Amino acid sequence: MLVCDSISKRYGSVVALRSANLKVQPGEIHAILGGNGSGKSTLAKIMAGTVQPDGGTIHWNGVPLRIMNPVSATKSGIAVTFQELSLLGNLTVAENICFPAMPTRLGRVQVARMRERVHPLLKDLELEGMEDVLVDHLPSGYQYLVEYAKALFRNPDILVLDEITSALHREQVTRITQSIRALAERGTAVLFVSHRLPEIFSLCDGVTVFRNGENVGTFRTGEVSANQLLALMTGDPNAVDTTAALDGEPYTLAPRSASLEVESLPVRSHKISLSIRSGEIVGIAGIQGQGQSELVRRLFGMHGVVTVTLNGKIVRIGSPRSAVRQGFAFVSGDREHEGTFAQHSLSTNASCVGQFIFHRKAMDIKAEFDRMHVHYHRLSQKMQELSGGNQQKVVLTRWTSVHPAILLADDPTKGVDVAARHEVHQMFVALAESGTAIVMVSSDEEELVALASMYPLMRVLVMYDGTFVQELKGAEVTLQSLIEASIPQEDNHVISQAENL
Amino acid sequence: MLFRKLKTYSFIPAVILFLVFLILNSLLSPMFFTISSLSGFFATYAPLVVLAVGETFVLVGGGIDISLGAIVSVVNVLLVTLWGLHWSLPLAIVVSMLAGTAIGVVNGILISILKVTPLLATFATSAMGYGAALWIMPTPGGSIATGFANWYSSNYGWFPIAAIFIVLPYVIWAIWRGTRWGTYLFAVGKNEEKSFASGAPVVRVKMLSYVLAAFMASIAGVILTANIVSGDATIGSPDTLSAIAAPVIGGVSLLGGIGDAGGAIFGALFLGLVVNTVFASQVSTFYQSLLTGSIILLGIVITTLIKRLTSMKLRKVVG
């Protein structure tokens, strides 16, 4: 039996895992369920040896496992698939699966033997003939299957699958689930990290719910309902009731002139059309990596020239600078790389757009910060000294000071604590009320539900593989409806823009 | 479903540039294809070829090494000095090569274990290397065994001995590439974190890439000494950037994980041919460097444009 006992991990001031416990029997498929930031991926990384826990022990059949690095994890019989994949794009499928112990003779890697060894695995997953393909040349769904094959190749006693199904098509999911069942029958303990309820109920024997880095409940899947799990996951006993509110007030929008029209914007291999009115908040949901980020970045001129209709006028955006001049704003969740100048002062961070793009005189930053509830010591202090939430408020100050027509946001509350997150939401609502149209990508379904309950002019578009597959308005925006819509059941689920939007 | 199995042929532009300048050279100086002229050419540019392959190890592994020129200088002055102290030639070669390779060990420790930025680490060791070389031999001079020098620029039948040092680095590369460590090098160069998560010995892979590069630079130092038959503490300095440019012309990515020593060799020979062509065209020495630079720039711009056009067509065919 696999026993994880009081595992803890902090990253700086953020607690990822606090005393997490877990028990899984050999041959059991056990789900780890939790929202983004619940600590489930950290646990997977600790098992993989890529992250060292601050405390706690892991035992397998009574023997303590000392996982110092990925090599000792493999030696201990653990194999992990990573949500962000561990594959190397410049190597072939066969090389990746055998990595790092490619078969050799007299020191030379034997390509033929390598092919032979991986062939049965690839055959099971219907990937025959792909041994010599470079991973970079594979579509992302296939890459996830190869990541899975790579884990299987290590013949693990304990297999940890971190969101393996998130980028897969339905028939690929079927292939993997069949394989997982066969593996469990042979006695492997499978940890299935996911935030998708239907898969958990159909595949897993047991389920443990994580919230805020803690185990908040372990059940047999037959003895628990989806609503109970949802309530535990969100920590809100009423999270369940939102589905019942479907027949509540109908979603209406005051007849205003459209403020942004986008037609056939290329995202991934598809073309997207979008229409947003002034004062509206449009959430973009979906499992990660479906083109959501590309959409907002394209609109902000980060991927070449785009043409949009803004307030009836055709506008050409060639760069972020021209986007800003046309009235666009962009709030990135990747504060370190895109959102902030970490080494510069708060005042520079707040006034850079106004000063350098609009050549305005310095604003009263102190007053603006007070209005935005920024907690800080001095205006000259470095941006990186602030917490994530405060940094994001400074970024918002930067934009509100130039009154943007369109605010684009990509996971703006990533790594922001709950209280500050709520404040950011309130600022979004205030901005929308003042007439700004907001497009907000979020990988956190709960966040979209929360915003929808705060603001009536909110709708959510669910994205899958570069297209919108569903539009949800007002009370239709619930955790379940979002999660369901994120994974298309059939390929014809992809609805045409003309019909629905 | 069909997927592209081919690895990229990023070295092709270097081969084309090489061939074009080979033809140009033979037109400008009809004597180019004589055995003595060819062995002179190989003897002059074999050190750059060896350096370029050494740099390829580091670039493919995702790093950069700007200390190779300094290593050449150290090996050069040490070899000449030890020979001047009446050491036996083999012993002098071994000791000076060990000293050169030791600089690579220092680079490797700084970069792989202490995680110093490769450019800064090798910038510092490079300055120290030139300093040490100048300390060993403040003024150019000295000599080396004439038998060794004559052997290096001679021919075995029609085969120029120096051409061994065009082939040898590729053999070393090909053997290395065929082992697990070769695969690790490409993996680490592509993505260090993913390589680590997959169980690659990341620290040792990076370490070895710098040691191998320094070892190759030491070979280059020895054959350069055989070619110029004297010692000079600044002799390696112009080669530092050429040794980086050659592999990049040959399709080795500065971002790591992509490239082949074959491309680096053709890149180095192309650079050599350009200098040779300019020299053969009897332009005044004052304009030679300007002309050389312009020709290299033109060649690179044209091949880049051709590459972009052809890859765009390829994409259309695929899509």
Which chain B residue's Cα is nearest to A105?
B179
CB atoms within 10 A of CB A443: 22
Strand segments (E) across B122-208: 155-156, 159-160
Mean pLDDT by 10 residues, chain B (319 residues): 54 88 85 84 96 97 96 97 96 97 98 96 97 96 93 90 95 95 96 94 97 98 96 93 94 91 95 88 84 88 79 47
Which has the minimum average pLDDT: A73-87, A442-456, B37-51, B77-91? Answer: A442-456
CA distance A44 to chain B (A): 12
Preceding amide of A100 cis, omega within 30: yes
pLDDT given for residue B183 in this prediction: 95
CA distance B190 to chain A (A): 7
Position A71 pLDDT exceeds 90: yes
Residue B302 in domain? no
C-beta separation of A399 from A349 below 8 A: no
Proportion of chain B in helix, strand, coil states, percent, rounded to 5: 75, 0, 20
Strand order through the sheet with A437-441: A328-332, A406-410, A437-441, A281-285, A458-464, A467-473
CB atoms within 10 A of CB A253: 12
Verify whether the Cβ–Cβ distance A99 to B198 is below 8 Å: yes
Verify whether the Cβ–Cβ distance A90 to B186 is below 8 Å: yes
- For residues A149 and A143, what is the distance between their CA atoms, to the nearest angstrom? 10
Residue B1 in domain? no
C-beta separation of A222 from A240 below 8 A: no
pLDDT category of residue A434 using cuts at 50, 70 and 90 = confident
- The pLDDT of A239-255, averaged and rounded, is 38
pLDDT category of residue A37 using cuts at 50, 70 and 90 = low
pLDDT category of residue A238 using cuts at 50, 70 and 90 = low
- For residues A298 and A317, what is the distance between their CA atoms, to the nearest angstrom? 9
Task: Share the mean pLDDT of chain A.
Answer: 84
Mapping DSSP to helix (H, G, I), strand (E, B) and coil, where does residue A57 land?
strand
Residue B14 in domain? no
Q: Is A250 on the interface with B (CB under 8 A)?
A: no
Q: Chains A, B: CB contacts under 8 A, how many?
A: 81
- For residues B221 and B231, what is the distance between their CA atoms, to the nearest angstrom? 10
Q: Is A474 left (phi over 0), alpha (psi -120 to 50) or beta?
A: left
For residue B194, give the nearest of A69, A74, A88 by CB distance. A88
Q: At A129, which amino acid appears?
A: G
Contacts of B199 in chain A (CB under 8 A): 70-71, 74, 99-101
- The pLDDT of A395-424, averaged and rounded, is 85
Q: What is the number of structural domains in chain B?
A: 1
- For residues A210 and A213, what is the distance between their CA atoms, to the nearest angstrom? 6
CA distance B252 to chain A (A): 13
Contacts of A150 in chain B (CB under 8 A): 198
The count of C-alpha atoms lying within 13 angstroms of the C-alpha of A454, restricted to the half-sphere facing its C-beta, is 19
pLDDT given for residue B272 in this prediction: 93
The candidate with the shortest Cα–Cα distance to B110, out of B178, B58, B159, is B58
The candidate with the shortest Cα–Cα distance to A193, out of A72, A394, A314, A29, is A29
Contacts of A101 in chain B (CB under 8 A): 180, 199
Residue B18 in domain? no
- For residues B222 and B99, what is the distance between their CA atoms, to the nearest angstrom? 12
CA distance B47 to chain A (A): 28
Position A424 pLDDT exceeds 80: yes
Evaluate whether ipTM surpasses 0.90.
Answer: no
CA distances in angstroms from A124 to A101, A140, A145, A192, A471, listed in the order given? 22, 19, 11, 20, 37
Verify whether the Cβ–Cβ distance A109 to B183 is below 8 Å: yes
C-beta separation of A200 from A230 below 8 A: no
The candidate with the shortest Cα–Cα distance to B16, out of B260, B258, B263, is B263
- For residues B197 and A86, what is the distance between their CA atoms, to the nearest angstrom? 7
Beta bridge partners of A211: A214
CA distance B1 to chain A (A): 10
C-beta separation of A453 from A479 below 8 A: no
DSSP A26: T
Verify whether the Cβ–Cβ distance B194 to A108 is below 8 Å: no
C-beta separation of A212 from A224 below 8 A: no
pLDDT given for residue A484 in this prediction: 80
DSSP B109: I
Verify whether the Cβ–Cβ distance A88 to B186 is below 8 Å: yes
CA-based max dimension of chain A: 76
The candidate with the shortest Cα–Cα distance to A379, out of A347, A343, A355, A342, is A347
Mapping DSSP to helix (H, G, I), strand (E, B) and coil, where does residue B73 land?
helix
pLDDT category of residue A493 using cuts at 50, 70 and 90 = very low
- For residues A78 and A273, what is the distance between their CA atoms, to the nearest angstrom? 45
Two structure tokens written together for A403:
């009154």
C-beta separation of B262 from B282 below 8 A: no
Which chain B residue's Cα is nearest to A103?
B180
Residue B7 in domain? no
Position A313 pLDDT exceeds 50: yes
Q: At A276, phi and psi to the nearest 5?
A: -125, 135
* Domain coverage including residue B173: 48-258+307-318
Strand order through the sheet with A29-33: A78-81, A158-162, A189-194, A29-33, A206-211, A214-220
Q: How far is CA A491 from the centre of its chain?
A: 22
Contacts of A90 in chain B (CB under 8 A): 186-187, 189-190, 257-258
Which is more confidently placed, A262 or A191? A191
Position A361 pLDDT exceeds 50: yes
pLDDT given for residue A254 in this prediction: 42
Residue B167 in domain? yes
The candidate with the shortest Cα–Cα distance to B180, out of A91, A31, A227, A47, is A91
Two structure tokens written together for A137:
């040349």
Two structure tokens written together for B225:
């000494």
